Structure formats: C-alpha cells, structure tokens
Amino acid sequence: MSHFDFQLEATDPDTKARAGSWKTPHGTVETPAFMPVGTLATVKGLTPDQLKQVGVQKVLANTYHLALRPGAEIVAELGGLHRFMNWDGPILTDSGGFQVFSLATLRKLDEQQVVFRSHIDGSLFELSPEKAMRIQEQLGADCIMCLDECPPHDVPVEKLQAAVDLTTRWAARCRDSHQREDQALFGIVQGATDPAMRERSAQGLLPLDFPGYAVGGLSVGEEPRLMYDTLDFTVPFLPEDRPRYLMGVGRPEDLLEAVCRGIDLFDCVMPTRNGRNALAFTSQGKVRLRNQKHKRDDSPLDPECSCPVCTQFSVAYLRHLFMAKEMLGPILVSWHNIAFYQHLLRQLRQAIREGKADEFRLRQLARWNASS
C-alpha cells in the first residue's frame, strides 16, 4: 500500500486551478497549499503550536544547512526531523540545489557533485546526488527533492542546456539511490524562461516517473510576467495525477497567478523575512509598520483576519515594538503573515471548489492594486 495518494477534488472551469488532497505519512495536505520555510528546522521566531494555530499544514527544511549543523547523523540519532523539531505534520526538504545558485561563489560544480566551501567555517562540504539522498533519508522528511543545478535566468542557452541535462542525469542518480518508500521524491524541471529548455527538462524527467514534480529556477530575478509565461508553457508537461510544486515563489499575487496556472504547492521565506522587517501582508495590501502614520492607529492589522495577532494587538502597538527594537514585534508580524498566507490559500481552495477561482483572483488583485 502506498504511503502517498494525491486526489484531485475540483478543477476551475475558467482557469487551470485545481483543489485536491495529498496523503502523506504525517497527514493529508489540502492543496493548493503554502509551506513556511524552516531552513534550520525552525520557522524563524515561531513555535510548532503557533504554526498549527493558524492552519499551517506542511513546513520546509533544507538539506545543505542541516547537514552542516547540527548534522544529518545527529538528527537521525535524535529520532528524525519530525521529533527533533517537534513537528508532527508533513515536512519537505530541499536538496541543496538552490544553494548551487545562491552560493555560487562558494562552490565548484562538476558531473559527479558540487563541492561547497561552508559559509559557516570555510570547510569543504561535498554534495552528490547520492549523498543528497542519504542526508534526506536520515532527516526523514515526507517529501524530498532531487539534487539539481539551478542556473541564473539570463545565462547563455548553451550553459542553460548543460544545466538542464545535468539536472536530468542527477535526477536519475537520485531515483536509483533513494531507498525509503515512506518518502516521495520529486523531480525538478529547470530551463529558466526558455520554452524549449523547459520542454527538454520535462521530457527528460517524465520517464523517471517521480511521484511529484517541481518547477525550479523561477523568482530568481526575472520579471513576474516572464514567470507566468514560463508556467503557461511548463505546467502542461507535468502529469495531472501528481502534485506540482513551484519552488521559492511567495508574493501573494504570484500565488494567485500560479494556482490559476495549475500549481499545487509553494514555499517562500517572504512572509517571515518581511515580518521580521516590519512589513505585513493584509487583505487590503501591504502595511509598512515603521511608517509615522501608524503611530496612533488603534485598529487591527487586518480587519478581515482572525489570527491571534489581529484579534489582540493594534497597529500602533506593533509599530511601537519595532521602533523600540523589541523582539516581540518580528515574532507577531511573522505570525500574522503566515496566518495571512494560510487564509489566502484556504479562500482560494474554496473558490476553486465553487468554480470561482478567476473571479477571486481578479477581485483580490484589484484590492491590492488599489492600495499600492
């Protein structure tokens, strides 16, 4: 019996949006869904109970960072990632492939592996497809990712094709070395914004028959319109009966656009990173809490939000916390932002079931645009 089961429950008649459920060993995820990023086995500033309280279903952690500290062997010895971070819901681990892009100045790449110079202490860290699988098996996440090469969006086409083909070869090595049946291994479609390269990548990965597919290499500097166009010509290559994951994309408007193009899963640091820097996402647009105009604002951050932050604290108080450099400010606004993202996706799931996804998208985009 499979540990995983993805069921489509509704499709929107006017878009490619779909609502479904994905059964994993640690619970079922209703899709489309947003995963907060817990790179080092923690969503910064928030406890697992706080995440659950606002409806988080699944979180993400990172192979590269956890392998450096505390070490995958230590996590395994202490009962695996779920027990280590006290999160009993589903977890996804990235493979370290994004660090091939983000830490390009600290690594060397060849056919066999990527060798990083640790950003912590300068020591060398070797990561091959096989080692990425071993580490993720030790961590014990429900969903794990193939090691891939994520190139910049503006590289010459010959370098882009080389990255696509290396990603395909590495995906085969990941599949062949992965052993745990209670983990779903996703292939990652690369190709930047080039239609031919996206097709080449997808066609190379589909025969490997992964239980899910991700779209990588977006939100790395290209214009939003290019991202949407890339999804338009990439998503149709992906199997309809498998979850589709758009990696590292997290502006609220991008979530709406991507869901309407057939994406099921998202992750991004944006809600927590912005929360730590006094920017809140709300149903009526962004709120920059350091702005002087909020000094006497006794209203809730978002009048349409029922999260613990909006029901207990005023905008003026939240601004005060940041101006006084109190650590509670970043915690509370991160908590609200995560709650906002979860509520947005719940509303979108309901709109899909009612056949009104495009209507919801247009209405919400109009509200945000009016406030900007």
Give me the pLDDT at residue 347, please: 98
- Among the residues of the chain, which ranges form H helices? 48-53, 63-68, 72-77, 81-85, 97-102, 129-139, 157-177, 195-205, 224-234, 252-259, 270-276, 308-312, 315-323, 328-353, 357-371
Distance CA 219, CA 226 (A): 10
> φ and ψ at 345, to 5 degrees?
-70, -35
Give yes or no: 254 in active site: no
- β-pairing verdict for 279-282 and 265-268: unpaired
Residue 8: φ, ψ to 5°: -85, 130
The structure tokens listed for 81 are 């990632």
Encode the chain (372 residues) as per-residue pLDDT tens digits.
579 999 999 999 999 999 999 999 999 999 999 999 999 999 999 999 999 999 999 999 999 999 999 999 999 999 999 999 999 999 999 998 888 778 888 899 999 999 999 888 999 999 999 999 999 999 999 999 999 998 888 899 999 999 999 999 999 999 999 999 999 999 999 999 999 999 999 999 999 999 999 999 998 889 999 999 999 999 999 999 999 999 999 999 999 999 999 999 999 999 999 999 999 999 999 999 999 999 999 999 999 999 999 999 999 999 999 999 999 999 999 999 999 999 999 999 999 999 999 999 999 999 999 887
pLDDT at position 1 is 56
Tell the residue number behind the tokens 């060993």, with chain if given. Answer: 25
| CATH 3.20.20.105 corresponds to the domain 42-268 | yes
Torsions phi, psi for 185 (to 5 deg): -95, 120
Q: Is 240 helix (H, G, I), strand (E, B) or coil?
A: coil
Q: Using CA of residue 160, residue 34, residue 99, residue 72, what is the dihedral sign?
A: negative
pLDDT at 159: 95
CA of 304: how far to CAs of 25, 83, 89, 329, 348, in Å?
34, 35, 27, 20, 15
Q: Contact, 289 vs 351, CB < 8 A?
A: no
3-state secondary structure 107-142: EEECCCCEEEECCCCCCEEEECHHHHHHHHHHHCCC
The residue from 12, 142, 267, 302 that is catalytic is 267
Question: What is the structure's pLDDT at 151?
Answer: 85
Asked whether the whole model's pTM tops 0.85, one would answer: yes
**Cα-based torsion angle of the residue sequence 85, 88, 90, 96 in order, rounded to the nearest 10 degrees:** 10
Catalytic: 267? yes
pLDDT of residue 223: 94
pLDDT of residue 96: 83
| Residue 152 neighbours by CB distance under 10 Å | 15
Q: List the domain boundaries for the chain.
A: 42-268
Q: Could you give the angle at which helices 252-259 and 328-353 cross, rounded to 10 degrees? A: 20
Compute the radius of gyration of the chain from its Cα atoms: 20
Decide: 87 and 59 in contact? Cβ < 8 Å. Answer: yes
Residue 94's alpha-carbon distances to 141, 175, 247, 296, 311, in angstroms, are: 10, 15, 9, 43, 35
**Which entry of 12, 94, 148, 254 is annotated as an active-site residue?**
94
CB 244 within 8 A of CB 217: no
228's tokens: 């949407």
CA angle 233, 239, 240 (to 5 degrees): 95
